[in-house]
Structure 1
């Protein structure tokens, strides 16, 4: 089992979006945060020998982190074909031999319908853009439908919403963790060169 530091180092080669879209909130998940989430899933036995699905995988940070931890197969789903092309290149950079598939589709549209429940990893949009509030709800709905367990990253202050949503959909939040990461300046409306934001990571078991 890799340590969190080892995972972060291996994921440091994963590149982000060439031309990110603000409406899709396309930000590269920092390796430190990704390794934290993946390491927790690994410690809980939710990756080794399992099918893992990364909903809204972007350029593959969480999917490839999971692929380093001995799953049977990893599937990354994203709407952006350019991001998936980058994800395929990132797989070569990371060097994992685990079977990884990339699917271009709406991650909330049930593009993946496995016969057995899977482990879902995801960093859904926080809903920061006008008209996109609570964008993470649709991702949680999909996780509730296909996952035995899910790990997700949400904006700070989301605990009440996530716990309530899980309870209403037959799920149970079994662990919550605090973290933070730096958002770089990559859109015109960004005023600062970078901004530190607090986030929360949740593990949910689904019925």
Structure 2
């Protein structure tokens, strides 16, 4: 198994969005954050030999990180077709021996019924845009329906919300860790060339078969 640092380096070739959409809050997940999340998930036994589903996969950062840790299969789901084309190119750049099924669909109404142990990984919209308010709730609801466990990135200070949502839907937050999300200047309304956002990653155990 590669180290977390090696995984970060391997993900450095993953390209971001050619024409990011503000309404979908499309930002490239930083390679170090993706490597940290997937490395932790792998240490918990949630990647190797499992089905891994990346909800709102964008250009494939989390999905491709998972392919490098021996999953049974990986599925990336995104509502925007263009980033999926970039994700396919990124898969060739990363050179993983595990393929990815890229699915053009709404990640909150995902047309999937995974067979066997399933882990969801996701970096859902934080709700900075009005149209995306509570979008992370919809992503968590999808995870509750299809996954045994999920790993998701949220704004800092989201613990009360995630824990309450998990409890209301038969799940339990078993692990949480703080991280940083490096946000480069992407849209015209961004005032800084680069910002560091404080985020939290949560592991939720949804019970057997996501029930």
Confirm or deny a common fold (TM above 0.5): yes
Determine if the alignment matches structure 1 residue 139 to structure 2 residue 110.
no
- Secondary structure of 2:109's partner? coil
Runs of 4+ in 1 over 3 A off after TM superposition: none
- Secondary structure of 1:23's partner? helix
| Cross-structure match for 2:164 | 164
Of 151-160 and 126-135, more deviation after overlay is shown by 126-135
| Cross-structure match for 1:62 | 62
| Cross-structure match for 1:129 | 129
Measure, in 2, the Cα distance between the counterparts of 1:144 and 1:12: 31
In the TM superposition, 1:11-160 aligns within 5 A as 11-160=11-160
In the TM superposition, 1:1-12 aligns within 5 A as 1-12=1-12
CA contact (8 A) 2:184 2:194 kept: yes
Q: CA deviation at 1:115?
A: 3.2
Q: CA deviation at 1:194?
A: 1.2
Change (3 A) 1:153 1:192: same
| Cross-structure match for 2:184 | 184
Show structure 1 runs of 5+ residues with no match. none
Show structure 2 runs of 5+ residues with no match. none
Q: CA deviation at 1:182?
A: 1.4
Say what the alpha-carbon RMSD is for the aligned residues: 0.8
Measure, in 1, the Cα distance between the counterparts of 2:120 and 2:137: 14
Measure, in 2, the Cα distance between the counterparts of 1:19 and 1:130: 20
What TM-score do you get using the length of structure 1 for normalisation?
0.98
1:170-201 residue CA offsets vs partner (Å, 9 max, x unmatched): 00000000000211111111111111100000
CA contact (8 A) 1:110 1:142 kept: yes
Measure, in 2, the Cα distance between the counterparts of 1:29 and 1:118: 22
Measure, in 2, the Cα distance between the counterparts of 1:124 and 1:140: 9
1:126-161 residue CA offsets vs partner (Å, 9 max, x unmatched): 001123211100000000000001001001111000
Query: Paired residues, what number?
Result: 207
Name the structure with the higher helix share: 2
